[in-house]
Amino acid sequence: MNLFALPAFADNYIWMLHDGTQAVVVDPGDAAPVVQALQSQGLQLAGILVTHHHADHVGGVDELRPLLHGPVWGPAGERIPQPFEPLNDGDGIEVLGLRFRVLDVPGHTAGHVAYAQEGAATAPLLFCGDTLFSAGCGRLFEGTPAQMLASLSRLAALPDDTRVCCTHEYTLSNLRFAAAVEPGNAAIEAHAARCRALRAQGLPTLPSRIGLERRINPFLRCAEPAVVAAARAQGAGGGDPVAVLAALREWKNRYR
């Protein structure tokens, strides 16, 4: 199975999985890069996965329908271009012979879902939309810090070698923020060096791995003493993980 990140807009990725004949894409905000990839590699579009309703994730769905030989899957609780197969937490779907479990991960949007591969011998895939970014997380447009903490905790509990397929190239700016939160965390600077080299070659910094994110992502580290202390210095009232996540998210919103 082949996995590609198709760049779209300024910093989106549309993930494409294909077996040499059939392809599925995740969150096609724009049809053009998908059409181009299908044509250049002679692939048939067998399905579309959607994580949430934002235009940069669904904007290309209707334009792709004439090419589509299979379903559009999306979260039951969101307004996705109709028709689509509505999915709820715990549902299982089969995509190009791979099995994925649907996880409700509210926070960025109220009905956001992620797709976690099951039954892989190694390196299962995770399509997590705008919930988890490398070294960061999505903005809280429709959810609460408590919801986002619970959603990120579900993703953090996946196997360490899980391939984290996020939908934006925010890694370097997220790592700058992560280093401000935890100046003493050497794993952050080490990963930043690797990511700078990738970006210098025009390559994505993704997919990441869950085990790595647990070491470098401040939003997955809300119970770490150094992260708690940094959040309290930014005004987190209590030291509990929800207050820490809320303070980190607000700090990140104004961090330049």
Min. distance of Cβ 86 from Fe ion in angstroms? 21
Quick check: is 112 catalytic?
no
Which entry of 56, 104, 112, 191 is annotated as an active-site residue?
56
Q: Figure out which of the listed residues 78, 130, 169, 213 binds Fe ion, where binding follows CB under 5 A.
A: 130
- The Cα–Cα gap between 256 and 249 comes to 13
Out of 53, 54, 112, 191, pick the active-site residue: 54
Check if the beta carbon of residue 174 is closer than 8 Å to that of residue 206: no
Q: Which residues lie near Zn ion (CB under 5 A)?
A: 54, 130
Stretch that binds Fe ion, among 32-40, 67-75, 128-136, 150-158 (CB under 5 A): 128-136
Look up 168 and say whether it is catalytic: yes
Q: Which stretch binds Fe ion (CB under 5 A): 62-70, 90-98, 109-117, 130-138?
A: 130-138
Pick the piece of the chain touching Fe ion (CB under 5 A) from 43-51, 129-137, 140-148, 222-230: 129-137
User: Residue 92 and residue 73: Cα distance in Å, rounded?
Assistant: 11
Token pair 């760049």 in the structure block, residue: 7
**DSSP secondary structure of 215-251:** HH-GGG-TTSHHHHHHHHHTT-SS-SHHHHHHHHHHH
Q: Which of 54, 52, 60 is nearest to 25 (CA)?
A: 60
Of 56 and 213, nearer to Fe ion (C-beta) is 56
Catalytic residue positions? Answer: 52, 54, 56-57, 108, 130, 168
